[in-house]
Amino acid sequence: MVQSRGTFLQYLVFVAACLVFYANTIPNGYAFDDSVVITENQFTQRGLAGIPEIFAHDTFRGSYENIPTVERYRPLSVATFAIENQLFGQNPHISHFINILLFGLTSLLLYRLFSKLFGNRDAAKGRLDFPFLATLLFIAHPVHTEIVANIKGRDEILALLGSLATTLLVLKYLDTQRARDLAWAALLFLLALFSKENAIAFLAIVPLTIFFYKQEPAAEYLRALWPLAAASVVFLTAMGLATRGTGPAPSEDILTEPFIYASFSQRYATVFYTFLRYLGLLVFPHPLTIDYYPYHIHLTNWKNPAVWVSILLCATATAYAFVKLKKRSVIAYGILFYLFTFFIVSNLPFSIGTFMSERFMFAPSVGFSLILAWLLCSKALARYKYFILAPMLVACLVLTFERNRTWKDDFTLFTTDVQTSSDSIKGNLAAAVSYLEESQKTVDGELYWKYREDALKHSKKAVSLYERYVDLRHVKAPSYDYAVMLVGDCYAANDDLAKALGAYARIVQSIPDQARLCETIEVTISKSKDIDFQLENYRRFAKLVPNNFVFNYRLGYLYGKEKNDLEKSIRYLEKAVEIQPTEPHALEALSHAYKLSKNYQKAAHYMEIAASEDPTDLSRLDRLLAIYELMGDEARQRSAKERIARLRGP
């Protein structure tokens, strides 16, 4: 009874700690990739009705319907968002609170696991026992802010939660030999995999944990593991069906494949370098950022001493873990837990789409917290552990609390993190867009222009980074075109139309969504009241995109109306009609130009086509009648008058 009361009090401490560290996320809104799984996800927006579609498709399909599959199949967390949407509508505060509760539940299971494995060790006996301390350090680590404060991070929480529950049930099975414990373990492991594929690392963690828990024959390991293997097969089959089994679409853009311009040597030197950066984040988690894309992290080579320091540390830790494995060393367990859960996101087996990310430390930090707690409870530090622990927890609370504020919304997050990741192409693009969008919301005139200037600054920085580090003679990826277009948008927002159009001209022939850019160009040109400026730029873009209807139509219209240059007007209008043969405004304008040129035959020809597009349009019939009168064609005049009379009625 005393032990149960003590355990209950420890659970309360863990839940209270989670609330203390993360309660200030509750007022936050949606941020970062919450849009992909919640606000812009058509399946999530349908509530319960969208759940079958969520499980039937790639995770991003609900937001990006027409993109190739990227083989990210994480339906469970998205399904929870659909349920929340059904019950509460779009309410980020409820979602943030649920994330905190799930994080708290994860900490409870982690404590149970640590207590089962190490609760009877000498270092665990004391006023502040070792499993308790390890769990508290896990809760307090600021690197988890990206998981808890970002609603979308629930996939990581559910994956670890389900995996820990699976591990505990397998241990329970070893004690009870009840098949139902294994059945529940398999079901929970399947749910963990449906949350995020990283959970598959527990196919290695579970046997490791069994080894530390009790001595079992090899047959018992197989008996305990085969249901988990079966769950993995079910998951992989479901993922293959949902993503059509095509595998991830190869990326040719540095923002989604950071190693695209790296040699084999550079790639793996950079990967090992990031291992050291990850360790640095665990030891000293400041400053934190969402952005480790190129070139916040730079490609490196084997001449970099940090690469060899990283390899030496990894090799030493791995060797130590295997040497101490037979003795069931706590540090060995912590190291192997870290390595097994980190490997899948390390960029070693395959590229994960970024150099590194703080969220990838969520599960591996379990091993780090375990090792740190064990060291604090060791004989050398035991008497000082409270003096070390107190300032450590206070520092973690301050860092976490401040970082949570940054997750308020996209604008706060992107404009804060670009200061840390100042050399990131993606970070500067995100900041530029955020400043531009925020300028449209503010009613403060001074802020309006400041935000637009900041947007221009960051968009130009993104382009300059691209041009500094990427050989554009060989590859122009979509993100480069997008960055240049954004520079143009920012110039236009600052009313510098000439520079805006100069930026658009650089990429109008290569950008994938040329039609959208051409619409933007037309709007930008039309902002100017200077007819000569308009004509000059319409001519410029008509040469770059000769088959664009609008550029040719506007040239024909302006040359006729503003310059009375009928020859040029007819030339461009004929090109416009060639591009869109049934566009009525171009047909009418061309007919009018021929009428002014006294070529009534062609004037009538094009007006007849325009009139045929809408036989009930009296204004076109009236103009057609006027042309027939100029031609002196009485038969056509009678026919036109009869049609007009029928339409007007008695």
pLDDT tens figures, 170-204: 999 999 999 999 999 999 999 999 999 999 999 99
Q: How confident is the model at residue 42 (pLDDT cuts 50, 70, 90)?
A: very high
Residues 503 and 487: beta-carbon distance below 8 Å? yes
Q: Which CATH architecture has domain 544-650?
A: Alpha Horseshoe (1.25)
What is the predicted pLDDT for the residue at 569?
A: 94
In the predicted model, what is the mean pLDDT of residues 106-120?
92
Whether 313 contacts 276, CB under 8 Å: yes
358: CB partners within 8 A, 6+ apart: 143, 145, 146, 281, 288, 289, 290
Can you give the pLDDT at residue 437? 94
* pLDDT number for residue 248: 53
The yes-or-no verdict on residue 84 having pLDDT over 60 is yes
pLDDT score for 261: 87
Band of the pLDDT at 320, cuts 50, 70, 90? very high
pTM of the model: 0.90
Write the DSSP assignment of 576-636 as a string of letters: HHHHSTT-HHHHHHHHHHHHHTT-HHHHHHHHHHHHHH-TT-HHHHHHHHHHHHHHT-HHH
Average pLDDT over residues 159-168: 98
Q: Distance between CA atoms of 629 and 79, rounded to whole angstroms? A: 70
User: What's the rounded Cα separation, in Å, for the pair 241 and 61?
Assistant: 14
DSSP string, 562-584: TS--HHHHHHHHHHHHHHSTT-H
**What's the pLDDT at 578?**
95
Where exactly are the structural domains of the chain? 544-650
Does residue 107 carry a pLDDT above 80?
yes
**Is residue 193 left, alpha or beta, with left meaning phi > 0 and alpha meaning psi from -120 to 50?**
alpha
Distance CA 198, CA 77 (A): 14
In degrees to the nearest 10, what's the CA dihedral of 522, 523, 524, 529? Answer: 100
CA atoms of 308 and 312, how far apart (whole Å): 6
Higher-confidence residue of 84 and 7: namely 84
Name the more confident of 118 and 648.
118
* Per-residue model confidence (pLDDT) at position 250: 59
Cα distances from 213 to residues 120, 166, 174, 330, 623, in angstroms, run 11, 15, 9, 12, 93
Residue 648 has a pLDDT of 81
Contact status, residue 149 vs residue 28, Cβ threshold 8 Å: yes
Residue 361 has pLDDT above 60, yes or no: yes
Q: Considering only the C-alpha atoms of the chain, give the largest distance between any 2 of them, rounded to a whole number of Å.
A: 114
Residue 455, pLDDT > 70, answer yes
Q: Read off the pLDDT of residues 236-271 as tens digits, 9 standing for 90 and up.
A: 999 999 887 555 555 678 888 899 889 999 999 999
pLDDT in tens, 125-143: 444 688 999 999 999 999 9
- The tens digit of pLDDT for each residue in 492-520 reads 999 999 999 999 999 998 888 889 999 99
Residue 65 pLDDT > 70: no
Band of the pLDDT at 218, cuts 50, 70, 90?
Answer: confident
pLDDT at position 128 is: 60
483 is written with which tokens? Answer: 């960055």
pLDDT of residue 59: 87
Average predicted confidence (pLDDT) for the chain: 91
